[in-house]
Amino acid sequence: MTLRLGDTAPNFQQESSEGSIDFYDFLGDHWGILFSHPADYTPVCTTELGFTAKLKDEFAKRDVKAIALSVDDVESHKGWINDINETQNTTVNFPILADKDRKVSTLYDFIHPNASETVTVRSLVIIDPNKKVRLIITYPASTGRNFHEVLRVIDSLQLTDNYKVATPANWQQGDDVVIVPSIKDETELKERFPKGYTAVKPYLRLTPQPNK
């Protein structure tokens, strides 16, 4: 299947490095990131999983649960986790799905046949508490992901959900944000954005980040 933004993230049951997992039960009412890896004992993946473990507190601040996927089995995952902990000076603190039968990879469109018929691409999906897909980003197998960008996107999505704002190009925490065009009533604008706003154009209105 092809997964698109706004779709309901498919549920699944699969074995993992932390036992059998029902994905919806794992997520609960939290945000989630599901990210795939071409195989165990690969160099780029080792650095990614180590860095993800180091971001535990950052994910917790944002109410995000991380879960990884590789097409190798549980025993392979456990040996690989030892290597990750040793080489990346961390402790892996999230499950790695053992997707040997490619069940989850197929559900989430992680196998791109023109890249490889058997190995997953380096995809990452952000899922909100309503189980909706909010971001899909795919890298080639040779390129490690930018997890600072993943955190930035989560911050942007949560701002949008909570304050009806969008974030402009290269936005970082503390920068001005954009008021969504659907808000036109001046009373609502004053209530939502007491710090005021600057109308660069009628459709481009900048306001200080509401939660700062």
Task: Tell the burial category of 102 from Cβ atoms under 10 Å away from its Cβ (0-12, 13-18, 19+).
Answer: middle
SS3 177: strand
Question: How many domains are contained in the chain?
Answer: 2
Per-residue pLDDT of the chain (212 residues; tens, 9 = 90+): 688 999 999 999 999 999 999 999 999 999 999 998 888 999 999 999 999 999 999 999 999 999 999 988 999 999 999 999 999 999 999 999 999 888 998 899 887 555 554 566 678 999 999 999 999 998 887 888 999 999 999 999 999 999 999 999 999 999 999 999 999 888 899 999 999 999 999 899 999 999 98
Q: What's the pTM?
A: 0.91
Residue 115 falls within a domain, yes or no?
yes
Residue 7 falls within a domain, yes or no?
no
pLDDT at res. 159: 95
pLDDT at res. 115: 55
Catalytic residue among 45, 69, 84, 179: 45
Strand (E) or helix (H) holding 13: strand 13-14
The CATH number that applies at residue 83 is 3.40.30.10
pLDDT at res. 119: 61
The CATH number that applies at residue 183 is 3.30.1020.10
- 42 Cβ contact partners less than 8 Å away, ≥ 6 residues apart: none
Q: Are residues 128 and 197 in the same domain?
A: no
Residue ending a domain, choose from 95, 117, 145: 145
Q: Are residues 81 and 174 in the same domain?
A: no
Residue 96 falls within a domain, yes or no?
yes
Residue 59 designated active-site: no
Residue 2 falls within a domain, yes or no?
no
Give the range of the structural domain holding residue 180, as residue numbers without chain letter. Answer: 164-207
Q: Are residues 100 and 179 in the same domain?
A: no
Q: Are residues 192 and 89 in the same domain?
A: no
Strand (E) or helix (H) holding 207: strand 204-207
Q: Are residues 137 and 193 in the same domain?
A: no
C-alpha angle with apex 149: 144 to 155, nearest 5 degrees?
150
Q: Are residues 55 and 110 in the same domain?
A: yes
Name the DSSP class of 182: T
51-64 burial: b if 16+ Cβ within 10 Å, else e: bbbebbeebeeeeb
Residue 193 falls within a domain, yes or no?
yes
Q: Are residues 170 and 135 in the same domain?
A: no
Length of the chain: 212
Q: Are residues 19 and 107 in the same domain?
A: yes
Distances (CA, A) of 105 to 19, 35, 67, 92, 175: 18, 10, 13, 21, 37
Q: Are residues 91 and 190 in the same domain?
A: no
Q: Are residues 140 and 178 in the same domain?
A: no
**β-bridge partners, 36:** 69
The Cα–Cα gap between 137 and 95 comes to 20
